[in-house]
Chains A and B, each alone.
Chain A
Amino acid sequence: MDKKFSQQDICNELIDYIKSNIADNRILISKETPFNQIGLDSSSIIELVLFIERKFNVSISEGDLVPDNLKSVEALARCTHKYI
């Protein structure tokens, strides 16, 4: 049986991924931290979306790939949760 992920689970996975692959260890990241404050650029955000799609086996529709959904961990997690 597939595990049902909560929005917080998704946030945690995203933060772990960012810390391991994208941002330096010194950078403090919370689910509310705006991505542009961490210095995440276009390619970093694409990496995050691709990670989400692989990790949670979802495909985020074009209509949901809008700035409001891609501005922070919390926003991306909220958008992703709809697909789970």
Chain B
Amino acid sequence: MNQTNEIGKLFLTGADCFILALEKHNRLQGAVGNTCRYVVELEGRLDAEAFKKKINQDTIILQLSALSIAKTGLFFKPRWQLNPVKEIEVTEHKGDVLIPDTVLQKQFTIEQPGLFSFDIVQRTNGNSCLILSWHHLLMDGYGAVLLLKRISNSAKEIMLSDEEPKVNFNFKNIREAAKAKFFIDRTSKKELSSIGSTKEYKTVNQKIKVIQFTQEETKQIENNAAVLGAKFGLSPFYLACSARGVKQILQERKVPVTNFWVPVPQNTRKKGALGPLLSNHISFLFYRIANAELNSLKECVSSLNNQMVNQIRNALPKAYGILQGFLKRVPSSFYYQLIKGPQGKSLASFLFTVAEEHPQELLEFEGLKVLNALSLPPNNFKPGLTFAFMRFNNCLQIMLLYFGEVLSEKEITNLEKQLKNELITGQDL
């Protein structure tokens, strides 16, 4: 594909259309749910003017900033629209708060260009922090890292965009899409519990807590995961600890706990791919966690491990991708009705994601050593609590994204204690 000329005519991916439907959900809740961030802490001062000049000399980045959702008719597939290119602003702040409130509350409007922004926070100790914020529709977390790689020149041939393969309307694909739909319906049937509040709010107050582990603790966590039955990787262990933390909160609120339903995004690009940057290329694994399984860390890990194996054995992520492809022509309002599940306004009990480790190629950025990096996914309200796991330099970090209206500070503190304890000891608290 000729990237520079064709980008303005590209259709959204199936995953993009799902996020477009979620956009309606977020607007109804008055929340900032579809904004993602990548935070890079740097040793030394990042010159805002020089950085601004650099990104404004890159035609690909300028075009990315000029994209918005095109107005299309009902039942037409949503597509991108390339608007006149304008200069990208870089806002400078001063202070030591992880993310300044003005950045945290930032919203993007998908019908207008400028779906990402850069903020530079100059720390009082002479260091800097670069914050890339973007609307989830524009790209996923993997795409954001590609954008940073492009800026840092650490990867010369980033592929900006690519047309998603068409999903043909044939018997085989219909059967696969139906398989995915039935699986989602079956696993998300009542009764389900959620961390989300039943109250309505006009606006909600976004907060973040970062939990950091040392290299030794991270190694211990890896060992515990294997002992507890997470045979193929760490995510079942992470998810089990997160789910048990949510159960504990609900129990302390004297809310009856039934089952949890948690969708977990999966990057569908090949490992190490240099694109596409634009759009979302994700599918999902869906976990149903029974209340009884939540009583034991070992049982919970084992159940999640088995569910993951079964879904991959039955090619469910691919089937879900086909379903997403079929749903591209469904108007967002109706799509939203399909995805808001048994809870009425919240499909998932809580949200969970594991981001890729911050890449080796980005341990230096614009000549400055990278001290830390955080990938902060969107936090949809409702449910209003997202667990994001990520490693930097072999150290695990957990980002808890929540709303003050959903969790109190005391609950967050207790959740942090429980997570740390169970991950490091591998024992039920």
Contacts and interface: CB of A to CB of B under 8 A. Distances in A.
Interface of A: 21-24, 26-27, 38-47, 49-50, 62, 65-67, 70
Interface in B288-311: 308-309
A27 B230 CA distance: 26
B233 A41 contact: yes
Given A24-B272, A44-B271, A66-B226, A39 B356 contact: yes
Interface string B214-246: 000000001000100011111110000000000
Contacts of B234: 42
B199 interface: no
B272 A38 contact: yes
Contacts of B273: 24
Given A46-B308, A50-B313, A66-B226, A23 B270 contact: yes
Contact of A65 (B231, B235, B270): B231
B272 A46 contact: no
Contact of A27 (B222, B272, B309): B272
B157 to A, nearest CB: 9
B271 A38 contact: yes
B89 to A, nearest CB: 33
B312 interface: yes
Contacts of A27: 271-272
A18 B47 CA distance: 42
B266 A43 contact: yes
Contacts of B308: 42-43, 46
B66 interface: no
B272 A45 contact: no
Contacts of B313: 46, 50
B104 to A, nearest CB: 29
Contact of B232 (A23, A26, A38, A42): A42
A24 B271 contact: yes
B266 to A, nearest CB: 6
B274 interface: yes
Contacts of B354: 41
B266 A66 contact: no
24 contacts: A21-B270, A22-B270, A24-B269, A24-B270, A24-B271, A26-B272, A39-B271, A39-B356, A41-B354, A42-B232, A42-B235, A43-B233, A43-B266, A43-B308, A44-B271, A45-B232, A45-B233, A46-B232, A46-B309, A46-B313, A62-B231, A65-B231, A67-B222, A70-B231
B250 interface: no
A50 B308 CA distance: 12
A53 to B, nearest CB: 9
Nearest to B360: A37
A43 B285 contact: yes
Contacts of A66: 226, 231
Interface string B96-136: 00000000000000000000000000000000000000000
Nearest to B226: A67
Contact of B271 (A23, A42, A50): A23
B317 interface: yes
A43 B317 contact: yes
A70 B232 contact: yes
Contacts of B309: 46, 50
Contacts of A23: 270-272
Contacts of A38: 271-272
A46 B266 CA distance: 14
Contacts of A22: 270-271
A7 B266 CA distance: 31
Contacts of A67: 222, 226
A18 to B, nearest CB: 9
Nearest to A42: B233
Contacts of B285: 43
A-B complex: 4 closest residue pairs judged by Cβ atoms: A42-B233, A39-B271, A24-B272, A65-B231
